[in-house]
Structure 1
Amino acid sequence: MLEHVAIWTRDLEGMKEFYCAYFDGKAGAKYRSKSAAHPNFESYFLTFGDGSRLELMQMPTIPESAYAPGQEALGLTHIAFAVGGTDEVDALAKRAHAEGRPVLLEPHRTGDGYYEACILDPDGNRVEVTTLPEA
């Protein structure tokens, strides 16, 4: 079982607000490290309806990414949230447009049966908004 995925950020509160607003995440209490090894480390665990979790982490000493926002490279390329049906995918893509958030892929049906769109979170991470594949 995958326990959680973690994302470093420079805007902990903004990222928390995005994932809670777009995907109905529930944030736990903010964790603030008291460890000398990790001073100024803060994080939130967000829990989603199915029990999956996302950890958002912030620490001033983490270097910037070498990749441009939305650029694909080796390693983790995106996270995906199943949001229900095609209407929900369409609505979240429309909301992203209205809020000025980049939409990399407009809603479309994939060859393997998903209906999805791809948007960027506030830090430029790719987030697929999807349905489950048709049976």
Structure 2
Amino acid sequence: MKIEHLAMWVRDLEQMRAFYETYFGATSNDKYVNPRKGFSSYFLSFPDDGPRLELMQMPGILDRPTDAQTQYMGLAHIAFSVGSIAAVDELTEKLRQAGHVIAGEPRRTGDGYYESVVLDPEQNRIEITI
């Protein structure tokens, strides 16, 4: 058994697709549109053939009550393994230079991970790890 995909409601479908393509090497399928429901989505695939990420947009979806630093029940983050400490540092700095929020500086965690935490354009938490 494996996780086939995760899904995320987004406000700006095109901006979010471009973010994951630009910084995490995602490849998008063609946009799916259901005009009757006002639903649109992209499935993003990543270079490692792991789970895909479905970005979805539809009118009437409620925002979750959160700010970038407050945690709530439910999915907490997406983690991307980039292969090395240097790659974690490099991608974190690239995102910082592009104006994205670094919610956790690169560091060694108590359980032995080396990671940073960044926020995507819609304030979802992303761990960048070895």
Give the TM-score taking structure 1 as reference length: 0.90
**Alpha-carbon offset, residue 112 of structure 1:** 2.1
Aligned to 1:48: 46
Counterpart Cα distance in 1 of 2:39 and 2:70: 26
The correspondence of residues 1-135 of structure 1 with structure 2, limited to 5 A, is 1-34=2-35, 36=36, 39-51=37-49, 52-131=51-130
**Structure 1 ranges of 4+ moved more than 2 A:** none
Counterpart Cα distance in 2 of 1:12 and 1:69: 19
* Percent of aligned pairs with the same amino acid: 47
Counterpart Cα distance in 2 of 1:66 and 1:45: 26
The alignment partner of 2:118 has SS state of strand
Q: CA RMSD in A?
A: 1.1
Q: Deviations over 1:54-97 (max 9, x none)?
A: 00000121112211234211111101000111111001111121
Uncovered stretches (5+) of structure 1, i.e. residues with no partner: none
Counterpart Cα distance in 1 of 2:117 and 2:70: 12
Uncovered stretches (5+) of structure 2, i.e. residues with no partner: none
Q: Deviations over 1:89-131 (max 9, x none)?
A: 0011111211111101111111222110000001000000001
